[in-house]
């Protein structure tokens, strides 16, 4: 199993450009998550999908949209990138979305917005 | 807002020494998890401790939980250079991770 995969690994955007970060998991997990990690800030939840067909806002959803395309895939879209969105983005999944589940993380996408 | 807060933010020790990291949280929880992140990588689950447990061991890891103080600690015994990483506590009911403790183990 590949686990959680993310593409791309690195991306540089200009202010105002749009892009979609892709995430896929092959573990048949129900729940998927998008986090951003900034220096000294830990991980902050952007959006999550408790199950296929549902999405919910996390702590910092402004400027982002998500799509749970199917059970495997959960994408994050930046419609008009801003320098404040420069960060490392992590996708994660967990089997049932309960608090005792382990979260499995992807390797991250390092995004720079100029 | 961050519910889990680790302390210290950074810790530097010599190989063979023990490393202790602390985590405080704000609301009631059913369990707390600890994760590790190597530089530039995603987080990896280390251990889960439930609210009815006071202490749990896994190899060289020892985790304690004090629900009355809303705090947890992670102890790594006989540290190795390969333990160099950032360590995070997480309360997954709230989907919240702390800011992490950056541990450096010097050979």
- Nearest residue, CB atoms, B93 vs list A94, A99, A105: A99
Residue B4: its pLDDT value, please?
63
Contact criterion met (CB < 8 Å) for B41 and A42 = no
pLDDT tens readout for residues A67-88: 998 999 999 999 999 999 999 9
Contact criterion met (CB < 8 Å) for A108 and B42 = yes
Whether residue A103 contacts residue B43, with contact meaning beta carbons closer than 8 Å, is answered with yes
Q: Which phi and psi angles does A12 have, rounded to 5°? A: -120, 130
CA atoms within 13 A on the CB side of B45: 16
Size of interface A-B (CB pairs under 8 A): 59
More confident of the two residues B28 and B61: B61
User: For all residues of chain B together, what is the average pLDDT?
Assistant: 90
pLDDT tens readout for residues B5-39: 788 889 999 999 999 999 998 878 888 999 999 98
Which of B28, B39, B43, B47 is the best residue to mutate to test the A interface, defined by the most A CB atoms within 10 Å of its own CB? B43
Strand pairing report for B10-14 and B101-106:
parallel
Q: How far is B100 from chain A (nearest CA, A)?
A: 6
Structure tokens belonging to residue A49: 């999908």
Q: How far is B35 from chain A (nearest CA, A)?
A: 9
Q: Is the dihedral of CA A39, B96, B8, B63 positive or negative?
A: negative
């Amino acid at each position: 199993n590949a686990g959680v995969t993310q593409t791309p690994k690195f991306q540089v955007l200009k202010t105002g450009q749009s892009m979609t970060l892709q995430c896929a998991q092959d573990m048949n997990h129900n729940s998927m998550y998008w986090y951003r990690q900034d220096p000294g800030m830990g991980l902050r939840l952007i959006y999550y999908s408790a199950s296929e067909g549902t999405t919910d806002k996390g702590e910092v959803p402004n400027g982002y949209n998500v799509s749970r395309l199917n059970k495997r895939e959960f994408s994050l879209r930046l419609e008009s990138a801003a320098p404040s969105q420069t960060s490392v983005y992590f996708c994660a999944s967990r089997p049932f979305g309960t608090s005792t589940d382990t979260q499995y993380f992807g390797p991250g996408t390092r995004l720079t917005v100029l | 807002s961050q519910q889990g807060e680790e302390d210290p933010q950074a810790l530097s020790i010599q190989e063979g020494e023990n490393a202790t990291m602390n985590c405080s949280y704000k609301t009631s929880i059913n369990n707390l998890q600890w994760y590790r992140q190597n530089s530039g990588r995603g987080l990896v689950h280390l251990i889960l401790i439930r609210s009815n447990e006071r202490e749990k061991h896994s190899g060289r890891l020892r985790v304690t939980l004090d629900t009355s103080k809303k705090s947890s600690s992670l102890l790594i015994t006989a540290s190795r250079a390969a333990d160099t990483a950032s360590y995070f506590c997480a309360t997954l009911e709230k989907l919240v991770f702390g800011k992490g403790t950056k541990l450096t183990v010097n050979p």
